[in-house]
Amino acid sequence: MIALSLAEIAAVVGGQTHDIPDPSVEVTGPVVRDSREVAPGSLFVAFVGERVDGHDYAAAVVEAGAAAVLASRPVGVPAIVVDDVQTALGALARHVVHRLGATLVALTGSAGKTSTKDLIAQVLRRKAPTVFTPGSLNNEIGLPLTALSATAETRFLVLEMGARGIGHIRYLADLTPPKIGLVLNVGTAHIGEFGGREQIAQAKGELVESLPPAADGGVAILNADDPLVRAMASRTTAKTVFFGESGEADVRAENVRLTDTGQPAFRLHTPSGCSDVTMRLYGEHHVSNALAAAAVAHELGMSAEEIATALSEAGSLSRWRMEVTERPDGVTIVNDAYNANPESMRAALRALAAMGEASRAKGGRTWAVLGKMAELGDEALAEHDAVGRLAVRLNVGKLVAVGGREAAWLQLGAYNEGSWGEESVHVSDAQAAVDLLRSELRPGDVVLVKASRSVGLETVAQALLATG
């Protein structure tokens, strides 16, 4: 964080200082909520959780070097006491980002926020010091903590924003007002909670409404391939830039293909030039994510060549997203168990099919080990059925559907599409899937593991990797 005195912090958050002998002492270290992350000069933020009360750690964090605690009651060590710690944290973040010399880039969407945020960070940091959301810390606590980790050297601050309902993105964008706002897509993630796609679009579009007008440098970067995102152009006075595979997009991909290892390759077109990209990441959905990142980088003055090189070298920074590992015995495990929705299921199956083309020559087969896609509301049956059918159409060798009725729907889709009998298996849980695969896998096989977060299918990938 940029150095601020305890007196200044107390004033910004409207708090009372308690047990602070010298209010001119500065917070110089990170602002943290986890006592294990405290460093000398830290500000420790004491949240009251369901199981843990941060206030209980006050003495220990000061002992470890924290300058003070941001708390909701006096704790007997230096503290700034406020009514509501979360509101205070937000106010502090807002104050600090106004003083930073950094350009704020915020992004939201139904799928691919973390992947795209990681891509943007890996491209921008080639140009100047960049701070970005670690993992998926995209809510009202993670976002200010990330913003507060920026320093005076930071030039780009890249923030993932998650929306759980109307007003949520507006709140986040008010804490850390972005200059560049990117909307990736409006899918069906959390559709059960929102009520429908239009409501999701309404909530995500709050990001572009929050941007400054074009004359003040505001830029809305929108997915031209997604009609609900494209329509958001009418909700902003910022400059609009479109990315996508459609011919009208400002930043677009031509000659998109998957290499025989399942990695996307394309020719990147920007308004100032073209360059070829071959990604290290797997799955064609990353083309859209890469174009979004390219549009951001282009706005921030990078050339097509610089962007293409960075995109071609970018790796995954977040785990369990299309993590490809080859075992010593030649079996390849593709762990995409972080999460799943219909769009990403299709993309992952297509990547598996492309990898299968290459492995077939060596006698290998492809396996899709899939579990349920959560939060689909009324569309659940049709979407699981469609994924089962797609596995057949893509020539996947075997489908192992894991779990309850959604798994049954996956298997039924495969049965109805291709009269699949033995080619698809329905098992009740992850352990059963592991037992089956352990006895069946042979060198050259490629295994995709994917389901919604709540299914926890990464255990299957991990067990298979441990046996190899």
Judge whether 93 and 104 are in contact, CB under 8 Å. Answer: no
Q: Which residues bind Mg ion (CB under 5 A)?
A: 113-114, 136
Q: Cα dist. 287→103, 116, 125, 258, 268 in Å?
A: 25, 10, 20, 10, 10
- From the list ligand ATP, Mg ion, none, which binds 210 (C-beta under 5 to 8 Å, kind-based)? none
CB of 216 to ligand ATP, least distance (A): 28
252: partner contacted, choices ligand ATP, Mg ion, none (Cβ within 5-8 A by kind):
none
What minimum distance in Å lies between the beta carbon of 60 and ligand ATP? 31
Whose Cβ is closer to ligand ATP: residue 2's or residue 121's? 121
Nearer Cβ to ligand ATP (299/336): 336
For residue 458, the partner it binds in Mg ion, ligand ATP, none, with Cβ less than 5 to 8 A by kind, is: none
Residue with tokens 């350009």: 103
Nearest approach, Cβ of residue 285 and ligand ATP (Å)? 4
Least gap, CB of 162 to ligand ATP (angstroms): 6
Q: Which C-beta is closer to ligand ATP: that of 35 or that of 332?
A: 332
Which partner from the list ligand ATP, Mg ion, none does 112 bind, CB cut-off 5 to 8 Å by kind?
A: ligand ATP
Q: Which does 383 bind (CB under 5 to 8 A by kind): Mg ion, ligand ATP, none?
A: none
Of the pair 113, 350, the CB lying nearest Mg ion is at: 113
Minimum CB–partner distance for residue 223 and ligand ATP (Å):
9
Q: Which does 111 bind (CB under 5 to 8 A by kind): ligand ATP, Mg ion, none?
A: ligand ATP
SS (H, E, C) 249-316: CCEEEEEEEECCCCCEEEEEEECCEEEEEECCCCCCHHHHHHHHHHHHHHHCCCCHHHHHHHHHHCCC
Q: Report, in Å, the least distance between residue 242 CB and ligand ATP.
A: 15
Q: Which is nearer to ligand ATP, 140 or 336 (CB)?
A: 336
* Closest chain position to ligand ATP (CB): 112
Smallest distance, ligand ATP to C-beta of residue 113, A: 3
Nearer to ligand ATP, 193 or 260 (CB): 193
Which residue ranges make up the site for ligand ATP (CB under 6 A)? 109, 111-115, 136, 138, 162, 184-185, 283, 285, 288-289, 321-322, 336, 338-340, 343-344, 347
Q: Compare residues 107 and 390 and give the one whose CB is closer to Mg ion.
A: 107
- Smallest gap from residue 132 Cβ to ligand ATP (A): 12
Closer of 82 and 183 to ligand ATP (Cβ): 183
